[in-house]
Amino acid sequence: MTLADISSLFSAYFNTTPEVTSHAPGRVNLIGEHTDYNQGFVFPVAINFGTDIAAAKRHDGIVKVVAVDYDNECASFSLDNIQHQPQPGWLNYVKGVCQVVKAKYPQLGGANLVVTGNVPQGAGLSSSASFEVAIISALTQLYELNIEGIEAALLGQQAENEFVGCSCGIMDQLISALGKHGKAMLLDCRDLSQRFIDLPEDFAIMIINSNVKRGLVDSEYNLRRQQCEAAARKLGVASLRDADTELLEAAKNSLSENEYKRARHIISENARTTAMFDALAKGDMAQVSQLMAESHISMRDDFEITVPPIDFLVEIIQQEIGKTGGVRMTGGGFGGCVVALLPKNLLLGVTKQVEDKYYARTGLKQKVYICTTNQGAFDENT
């Protein structure tokens, strides 16, 4: 959506022009899954799907929001009395963000907000983080809150952990805040330092939504987190970031089978994620292909977060691209999307193979997005 579009939507609802607009992107993670809350490494890219907000101040301490994509549903609440809504929905994200921002910046006042977005929801492309970061960006501009990228990401994560109720890590909010055009980010989730690497120009990022209806995502996600934390405790380390294969094998008998497998995924995935940065730096696409393939197998067999239609999508695409590019499931798991990094000239062939085979086997209709990269809402070039 262009700035003019979101501004005119705002004018239509509130009969006045907005004072600020914000945009925060969704993301696709190329490798490094479930490593963020284990203080490890992730490798996401900010994409050309995101959330747009137009906003203006109010002087009565009320936040009023129009959600364009939910039939223009409108809701309002007072900053002095923010109550969690029992039924899940978009409003808790706004309330959660306002609560954590207000706690740190008491000068935050009321606002009128119009919100719209195009990140596919429930697909593992971070529609929630993009929403949180877009709200934080709008409030930061409106009230000149001196919030920068890392703080914005931490506030978004805090809102999601403490108010919405999902124990997510920091990856999604941080890439939505600080992603850079044309680049993937190697993020160290322990100290939040970032290294950026150019993506090869003749390669495309293809995302295929499996359209598997995701069930139990939050409970399975939180369970994986608990299993990782239990494994770290038994290994005597602060987080699985500090464990290695030798330590894991030596302590194997003290871990349950699941704890052992979860830890093995995290240890091997951290190594693959840093290796991915080096492989891209060298332009070694055969190595990229290998690392992404191993990551998928580890998510399937050790972390057990893939589902058969997703495994099948990966198989179809892998056969088509061979060692020229990589493919794996991306995001939290249990459905959602597959990501492929592949030469642009293979896009048509891969799309055709997926169209020919996926529905016939699974009865599900995939959706293909050819993505471009984007910059984060708090990137200095924004």
Q: Which residues are annotated as a binding site for Mg(2+)?
A: 128, 160
Segment near ligand GAF (CB under 6 A); pick from 28-36, 174-182, 235-243, 374-382:
28-36
- What does the alpha-carbon distance between residue 271 and residue 260 come to, in Å, rounded to a whole number? 17
- 292: enclosing H helix or E strand: helix 285-301
Which one of residues 14, 18, 36, 376 is an interface residue with ligand GAF (CB under 6 A)? Answer: 36
> What is the full DSSP assignment across 236-252?
T-SSGGG--HHHHHHTG
Looking at the Cβ atoms of 20 and 205, the one nearer to ligand GAF is 205
CB-based burial label for 249 (10 Å; 0-12, 13-18, 19+): exposed
Say which DSSP state 215 is in. Answer: -
162's torsion region: left (phi>0), alpha (psi -120 to 50) or beta?
alpha
**Least spacing, CB of residue 25 vs ligand GAF, in Å:** 14
Residues from 154 through 183 that contact ligand GAF (CB under 6 A): 168-169, 171-172
- Enter the tokens of residue 32: 């490094």
Looking at the Cβ atoms of 6 and 152, the one nearer to ligand GAF is 152
Distance of alpha carbon 357 from the chain centroid: 28
Binding-site positions for substrate:
33-36, 221
What does each C-alpha distance from 361 to 15, 95, 356 come to in angstroms?
52, 42, 9
> What is the full DSSP assignment across 107-134?
T--EEEEEEEE-SPTTSSS-HHHHHHHH
- What does the alpha-carbon distance between residue 210 and residue 328 come to, in Å, rounded to a whole number? 12
- Decide if residue 33 touches ligand GAF (CB under 6 A): yes
**Least spacing, CB of residue 319 vs ligand GAF, in Å:** 26
Please list, in sequence order, all residues whose beta carbon lies within 8 angstroms of the beta carbon of residue 144, skipping any fewer than 6 positions away. Answer: none
Binding-site positions for ATP:
122-128
Which one of residues 26, 179, 309, 332 is an interface residue with ligand GAF (CB under 6 A)? Answer: 332
Binding residues for ligand GAF, total number by CB under 6 A? 11
Binding-site positions:
33-36, 122-128, 160, 221
Catalytic residue among 5, 52, 69, 172: 172
- Decide if residue 272 touches ligand GAF (CB under 6 A): no
> What is the full DSSP assignment across 46-96?
EEEEEEEEEEEEESSSEEEEEEGGGTTEEEEEETTS----SS-STHHHHHH
- Decide if residue 320 touches ligand GAF (CB under 6 A): no
**Least spacing, CB of residue 331 vs ligand GAF, in Å:** 5
Which one of residues 6, 7, 28, 34 is an interface residue with ligand GAF (CB under 6 A)? Answer: 34
**Least spacing, CB of residue 357 vs ligand GAF, in Å:** 27
- Decide if residue 269 touches ligand GAF (CB under 6 A): no
Looking at the Cβ atoms of 34 and 264, the one nearer to ligand GAF is 34
Name the amino acid, one letter, at 319. Q
- Enter the tokens of residue 175: 């890439």
Looking at the Cβ atoms of 36 and 259, the one nearer to ligand GAF is 36
Looking at the Cβ atoms of 10 and 37, the one nearer to ligand GAF is 37
> What is the full DSSP assignment across 17-55?
--SEEEEEEEEEESS--S-GGGT-EE-EEEEEEEEEEEE
Instruction: Confirm whether 202 is a catalytic residue.
Output: no
**Least spacing, CB of residue 171 vs ligand GAF, in Å:** 5
Looking at the Cβ atoms of 142 and 313, the one nearer to ligand GAF is 313
**Least spacing, CB of residue 32 vs ligand GAF, in Å:** 7
- Enter the tokens of residue 122: 């429930």
- Decide if residue 331 touches ligand GAF (CB under 6 A): yes
Query: Cβ distance 50 to 74 under 8 Å?
Result: no
**Least spacing, CB of residue 125 vs ligand GAF, in Å:** 9
Looking at the Cβ atoms of 194 and 353, the one nearer to ligand GAF is 194
| Residues known to be catalytic | 172
Q: Which residues make up the interface to ligand GAF (CB under 6 A)?
A: 29, 33-34, 36-37, 168-169, 171-172, 331-332
